[in-house]
Amino acid sequence: MNFNDIVGQRVIVESLRNAVINGMISNGYIFSGPKGCGKKFMAVIFSMALNCRGEAHDRPCGSCSSCIRTSNSNHPNLKLIKPTGQSIKIKQVREIISDTARKPFESGYKIIIIDGAEKMTIEAQDAFLKTLEEPPENTVFLLLAENHNLLLPTIVSRCQVFRIKPVDRMEMKSFIQARYDYPPMDVEAAVRHSKGIIGRALELLKDKENFKIRALYIDILDNVLSGNERDAILLAPETVEDKETAERFLDFSMSWFRDIMVMRECPKAFKDIIINIDSLDILSRHNLILTEDKLNSIMEIIKKTYIYVKHNVGIKNSIDGMLFNIAEVNSYNGKNSWS
């Protein structure tokens, strides 16, 4: 494991690598980005580099005893803090502070990774700030946050902030294909669904169940658009159990109808843009069924359902209602029934 295993973050990697080579190490770093973007992975590689015993330009070597223990999270100079329950409490921060006051167990840096740093309570952040203002020697704090704007500005200003960017689709694809042996079409679908987040793509690929669920989603939408909405509603409970699974289904539905929109608007280039490329035949069929007005109405219905689900308003009923409404829009033939 070394810096080359970090995909699509060239600027950050260069900056970290240079810091290691030149020995210009700050006391605080923030790695910020959504779940699955590789914040922790990056922090571990950087931690390995900081205490690696290999040649400076080659750190982390990945094979010295320090690198191996760091990557296995059992290096005595490495501490990992994460929320207990909903937050990181002042007690945990105090423990870090008294811990960092002691000398490192081994020569080198003492590294504290705070995972979910934005979940520190205000008291915890205040206490942490004091340590950051007068940091013990050879101590490096690596703060991982999904949203670093939730941290006190005074903490942020004392850290070097790295915002992890969405990974380019082609780059992610070749990265996965060089390291894993998944079928190319699965990789293509996972990468397109990942929104540039490597962890999301790998999660989709690792769990075959995800592909089964996607097939079920497609089945539901196909039934709705074929006039079998009752069958669709029978399938829905298998996929929608709570807020999280409902939102996943809504995300998928939105991506599906957006793809149809893209097929219409970019007839020449849509294959590069759409997300559900592995289901092109069904998408094309739905494209023939739906008019533009119907597509717009369907997307409005999905947007409204997002709001109900977000506020926990009868989640299962909201999804059933959405499917009925989509079916109704689809079956409308443009004439009033009494005319």
Tell me how far, at minimum, the Cβ of 96 lies from Zn ion, in Å. 25
**Spatial CA neighbour of 127 closest among 138, 145, 109, 141:** 141
Could you tell me the sign of the dihedral formed by the alpha carbons of 98, 101, 104, 110, in that order?
positive
Q: For Zn ion, which is the closer residue by CB, 64 or 277?
A: 64
The reply on whether position 280 binds Zn ion by CB under 5 A is no
The reply on whether position 64 binds Zn ion by CB under 5 A is yes
CA–CA separation, 50 and 43 (whole Å): 10
DSSP result, 68-128: HHHHTT--TTEEEE--BTTBB-HHHHHHHHHHHHSPPSSSS-EEEEEETGGGB-HHHHHHH
Q: For Zn ion, which is the closer residue by CB, 28 or 60?
A: 60
The reply on whether position 129 binds Zn ion by CB under 5 A is no
Number of residues that bind Zn ion (CB under 5 A): 6
Q: For Zn ion, which is the closer residue by CB, 53 or 285?
A: 53
Structure tokens at 72: 């296995």
Tell me how far, at minimum, the Cβ of 65 lies from Zn ion, in Å. 8
CA 230 vs. chain centroid, Å, equals: 34
CA–CA separation, 77 and 100 (whole Å): 10
The reply on whether position 78 binds Zn ion by CB under 5 A is no
Residue of 43, 52, 172, 290 interacting with Zn ion (CB under 5 A): 52
Q: Which stretch binds Zn ion (CB under 5 A): 45-53, 246-254, 256-264, 296-304?
A: 45-53
Tell me how far, at minimum, the Cβ of 141 lies from Zn ion, in Å. 21
Q: Which stretch binds Zn ion (CB under 5 A): 59-67, 258-266, 305-313, 316-324?
A: 59-67
Q: For Zn ion, which is the closer residue by CB, 49 or 143?
A: 49
- Report the run of H or E that residue 140 belongs to, with start and end: strand 139-145
Tell me how far, at minimum, the Cβ of 52 lies from Zn ion, in Å. 3
Q: For Zn ion, which is the closer residue by CB, 65 or 84?
A: 65
The reply on whether position 67 binds Zn ion by CB under 5 A is yes
Tell me how far, at minimum, the Cβ of 63 lies from Zn ion, in Å. 6
Residue of 54, 108, 136, 321 interacting with Zn ion (CB under 5 A): 54
Q: For Zn ion, which is the closer residue by CB, 50 or 315?
A: 50
Strand order from edge to edge, sheet including 160-163: 78-81, 110-115, 139-145, 28-32, 160-163
Q: For Zn ion, which is the closer residue by CB, 2 or 305?
A: 2
DSSP result, 245-309: HHHHHHHHHHHHHHHHHHHHH-TTTHHHH-S-GGGHHHHHHHHHH--HHHHHHHHHHHHHHHHHH
The reply on whether position 61 binds Zn ion by CB under 5 A is yes
Half-sphere exposure of 122 (CA within 13 A, CB side): 0
Chain contacts with Zn ion (rule: CB under 5 A): 52, 54, 60-61, 64, 67
